Structure 1
Amino acid sequence: MKAILPGSPADTDEPVVLGEAAEPQPADDEAVIEVEAFSVNRGETLQLEGGLDRRRAGWRPGKDVAGTVLRPAADGSGPADGARVVAHPPAYGWAERVAVPTHSLTELPDSVDAVTAAALPLAGITALRLLRAAGPLAGRTVLLTGASGGVGHYVTELAAAGGARLTAVSATAERGAKLMQLGAAELVTSVADVSGPYDVVLESVGGDSLSTALAALAPGGLLVWFGQAGRAPVTLDFFSFFEGPNQARIAHFDYTASDATYGQDLAALVRLVAGGRLHPEIGTVRDWTRTADVIAGLRGRRIRGNAVLTVG
């Protein structure tokens, strides 16, 4: 079958190539999906540069897919042959077909198309679980850094719908414009410009951003660190807690840590989209032969929201 294969980590012009891969060999609890669309996450572009998963023999990217069940799971779990689904496999999804555990997929209603669905899994699941980690948000002030990506769009819309007053930090006003439409109360282009104090800080940039955001945290507040998009290490002076956010907490977040099954969260996201309560931001939709171009666009931050590729 055809699949997107990793190219040379040193080759920025050709990080992936379209080639041939072996057909998926599903376990008893896995369904084989004929892929119609997949999305590219920024984390996958970093792995293609030479991360741990990239070095593992046989690894291929692909965590967010939508398509049709071609072969149901042998153990009888999951949807039947021909069902339209969205899924979150651990890898290998940028291909004509992929095997996915049935606990990590859910069926799609007719009202949700494959392109929209493919934009949901990693970013949507991360947003749902991040907000659960933050706790009840009704009436609380929230600061979200690195807000213009796929996760940021979902967090903004869900947090605002939950009653939070959210300040979004985006590198440019243009990249952050959609966040105001989704319910953000305020948009700033630098974390240094926030006023605070905030009950909750959701931090995804790293470097100086985290320490600056920490200073805007209210006493007893919570900072949840869930990424390092700026790729710069964080240095903290813990004595700074006494200058403002006394008794505050810092928590590290990993969306896979609490539960490595994703079907229920995918079903929740699909219900929200079908009900008009969640609106995926699709920054670009292209044929999968253009995957390398899309990766270049994501690395250069020229794509706002989710990047989706259609197969066939």
Structure 2
Amino acid sequence: MLSVQVAADRRLTAREVPEPVPAPDEAVVEVLASSVNRGELALIAMRGEGWRPGQDVAGVVAAAAQDGSGPARGTRVVGLAEQGAWSERVAVRASRLAEVPVNVELETAAALPMAGLTALRTVRSLGSILGAKVLVTGPRGGVGSLQVQLARLGGADVTGLVRAPGSGESESGFVSDLGDGGAFDAALDAIGGDTLRAVVGSLRPGGKVVWFGSGSAEPTALSIYDFVGHEGVSISTYFSYVQDPLQDADDLGVLLRLVEQGTLQLDIDSRWPLTDAQTAMERMSASGVRGKVLLTAIA
């Protein structure tokens, strides 16, 4: 079968590899779509030749887990693999797979796992946000766009921070400058650097920041004096790899129901065949990406 690997020159190439050998608690999924996450771009730069990227996976169970857990053979599923999801088939822990409703396309579902779980869990970590003013940095990206929607579903008044003003009714509530003073009760930050410092300055005393990304690739310079007028503001971090994988199926089920109901919209930027993984990665690295970049099965 074909699987995308890191070549000696750090570029991605699709090569023939052996079929996956699942552990007793793993199912083999016939992959119909996967998505490219920004975190994987960093891993590709770090890992050695032969490493196989890819976590988000949507497809059909080709072989159910031998221990009897998880979805049965033939079930349409979405989930998270440890790695190697940019393949024709991949072994995935059954506890990390959720059944996809019949009226939700698998390509749509493929945009959910990492971005959706990050959005759901970071919004959830804010606690009750009914009536709260919440700031989301990077609201046009795969995670940020979902955070905006989920926070609004939770009853928050949401503002998105963008690099430049957008246009169109769908971008109402977006700003390019935070201004001065404490306007927000909570914030979700994917940028870090000077932006995180500005976010702290935008919060009311006792506000909360959940910091889950470093899109600026810059250090954040904060002093105690940055919290004058914003006393009690707390900063907590979110890392996907420390989350309980036994919760993945249930949380994906929550997201899938919202998609099925039409209350959660997923933006797809572009679709590329598995053999064009390098192009897909370059697209994800480019500026102006709106939503998720997908890799799809070869016809």
Between the aligned partners of 1:27 and 1:254, the Cα distance in structure 2 is 26
1:128 and 1:16, CA in 2 relative to 1: closer, same or farther beyond 3 A? Answer: same
**Number of positions where the alignment pairs a residue of Structure 1 with one of Structure 2:** 297
Whether contact under 8 Å (1:206, 1:229) holds in the other structure is yes
- SS of the residue corresponding to residue 65 of structure 1 reads strand
| Secondary structure in structure 2 of the residue aligned to 1:134 | coil
The CA RMSD measured in Å over matched residues stands at: 1.8
Give the CA deviation at 1:223. 1.2
1:32 paired residue number: 28
Counterpart in 2 of 1:199?
185
Q: Are 2:261 and 1:269 aligned?
A: no
Q: Which residue of 1 aligns with 2:270?
A: 284
Stretch of structure 1 that moved more, 28-37 or 249-258 = 249-258
Aligned to 1:23: 19
Give the direction of change, closer, same or farther, for the CA distance of 1:220–1:113 in structure 2 (3 Å limit): same
**1:70 maps to which of 62, 72, 92:** 62
Give me the whole-angstrom Cα distance separating, in 2, the residues matched to 1:148 and 1:302. Answer: 9
Q: Distance in 1 between matches of 2:7 and 2:50?
A: 12
Residues 148 and 304, structure 1, Cα contact 8 Å, conserved in 2: yes
Equivalent residues of 1:160, 1:166 under 8 A apart: yes
Which residue among 193, 201, 226 is the counterpart of 1:240?
226
1:138 matched to 2:123? no
| Contiguous gaps of at least 5 residues in structure 2 | none
Q: 2:212, 2:20 → 1: CA distance?
A: 32
Which amino acid in the other structure matches residue 161 of structure 1?
A: L
Instruction: Please say if residues 129 and 255 of structure 1, whose CA atoms lie closer than 8 Å, have aligned partners that are also in contact.
Output: no
User: What's the TM-score once normalised by structure 1's chain length?
Assistant: 0.90
Structure 1, 31-40 or 244-253: larger mean CA deviation: 244-253
Q: Does 1:160 align with 2:152?
A: yes
1:58-116 per-residue CA deviation (whole Å, 9 max, x = no partner) reads 53111101001000000011111111111111111000000000100011121011110
Q: Percent identity?
A: 39
2:41 alignment partner, one of 39, 45, 59: 45
Q: Does structure 1 retain, via aligned residues, the 8 Å contact 2:5–2:50?
A: no
Measured after TM superposition, the shift of residue 185 of structure 1 is 5.6
**Aligned residue in 2 for 1:259:** 244
- Which secondary structure does the structure 2 equivalent of 1:218 belong to? strand
Tell me if the contact between 2:56 and 2:80 (Cα under 8 Å) persists in the aligned partners.
yes
In structure 2, C-alpha distance between the alignment counterparts of 1:185 and 1:137, rounded to whole Å: 20
